[in-house]
Structure 1
Amino acid sequence: MKTGPLALTLGDPAGVGPEIVVKAWNELRAGGPAFMAVGDFQSLASASVAGASILRRVHAPEDALRVFPDALPVLDLPMRSPVVAGQPSPAYAPAVIQWIETAVGLALRGDVSGVVTAPIAKAPLYEAGFKFPGHTEFLGELTAAANYDGARGPIMMLTARDLRVTLVTVHAPIAKVPSLLSVEKIVNAGLVTAQSLRRDFGLLAPRVAVAGLNPHAGESGGIGREEIELVEPAIRALRNLGVDATGPFPADSLFPETMRSRYDAAVCLYHDQALIPVKMLDFWGGVNVTLGLPIVRTSPDHGTAFDIAGRGLARADSLVQAVRLADQIARRRGG
């Protein structure tokens, strides 16, 4: 089992990332899991009421394990320009990207047990030339050379209490979703989900439910044919591959407690179909997990919150749960 700490990237330094990283360390310092912040030392110092006194620069992950109970270990990769809390800028983009690349490199080499990422803001990254829709797709590119269990691209999973959902399409306009769906993509999402439930969550016989696209799951073709032409063939293919897959289920009845007891993860076809039930169930504590990667990666299920950045109001619940889940997955993969 890998015994290194987790690498926690700072996210957008003008958002709540620095603040919640400090708060997560305060909550986890006594019992762990240990992590090493990868980012700008000064941004973290500015986000802490105690300033730099609780921070410690480190040069290697093994130093972070030793330091963690007494100080927040920081692999300092400084900003090139000063940061103003609540004011995003494309000038921060090179540092944000460098922090992610550094953490992923450490994980691929086995120097850290996994990566946890604080939230990034996409718009300023796009202004700086960032070509990926988000974290998930960028991580897929960074790890593409290290194929993992035949997965075709990373799959996003969200967890909240007893609910796990994965997505076939992610940041796609709703009008484009039907044209982006295919039997192959649904099968890939279901297969990667089942593999992760076994390896990362310790479930020996995982059950996967698949949502329909249309109201009432299409009403046998009366309200759309995607279920007949795409979802049902994908479910049959998954069963032929040994996956206990069921559906398609109407999305409006898939997430109550009585239904959640019947499956271990639900494969959803578009963003809000998955995200709404997660955030209704546990708005503060939801976690984003990237499946289908050769490294462990989790993140909090919220954004940069520029409107409250620098005011001491941000809650670290989701980040704390992301650190804990990353550690649990790393231990299962290493066992």
Structure 2
Amino acid sequence: MRTIITTESVAQADRFDHWVYEMSQVFAGLDTRPVSKGPFQGIAARGSVGSVQLNSISAGPLRVRRTARLCAQYEEDYYKVALQISGTSVVEQGGAQTALGPGDIAICDAARPYSFTYVGDFRTVILLLPRPLLPLRPEAVSEVTAHRISTDEGVGAVVAPFLQSLGEQDRDFVGPAAHSLMDGTVSLLTALVMERLDRAAPHDAMMLRIRAYIEHRLADPELSPDTIAEAHGISRRYLFKLFAAEGTTVAGWIRTRRLEHCARDLANSDAADQPIGMVATRWGLLDHRHFSRVFKSVYGETPREFRRRALVDVTGE
């Protein structure tokens, strides 16, 4: 991670205004206000793991809000995962409110209004996770947003040191290793949310397990409604009913997730020399002609055209 903002060389009277301006260049759509009249200091570093952004922030007392107006003005399609390293904070979203102490985690949906209030000096690691990467319905995730997630035991005890370690790295992760690490990050956060939803309605709990099962087996060309139903001890008919209740189909969900992974890999400049057929095969799509047709029907261009445009956007060449 590299330092992108610091108030160290700024006159004390100008530090907070400097902080707000510089942070607005990085995190659009936030309203930042002081919560005390004392001296202010702040430093922020940023890095990435594939498509996931990492931010390590140490600062004085402040409040960060994303209002309904700002949500409409700046559309954001990610989840904000915050690990409190030191100090305390109060998180609010959707009528829920919770207090975080060192080691606690909270999740917010950036598409909806939220706020973080830090009443004293603090340090936090914030991970910005694109919503499509989390194989869970936003309605299910909303059940845990702005709720304190303890890291004393269970999945949280694994996730917290992992996120803290990511936040302490002094470089970005690139290449194939970055995507593997990103997949691991997504898997851990999925498990964290699923553990919190153990008391969910049977329908939601079953769908969470099924989606996670599918996500971890997308590379298997034999993945099918039969294998999914058998693995969960339910009938094909009930499986179809579960997906129909969400306005989709089993095959449609598998196809969508496979295509999304393919699109991500095609846009990865570190994998630009990999044949398109290899990318499709890696995600369980063995009929390459069929893959090309389906990909174009969804993304409006062939895989080759998509890769060419995506790589030009990344390199500017």
Normalising by structure 1, report the TM-score.
Answer: 0.29
Please identify which structure carries the higher strand content.
Answer: 2
Larger Rg: 2
The structure, 1 or 2, with the larger RCO (C-alpha pairs under 8 Å, 6+ apart) is 1
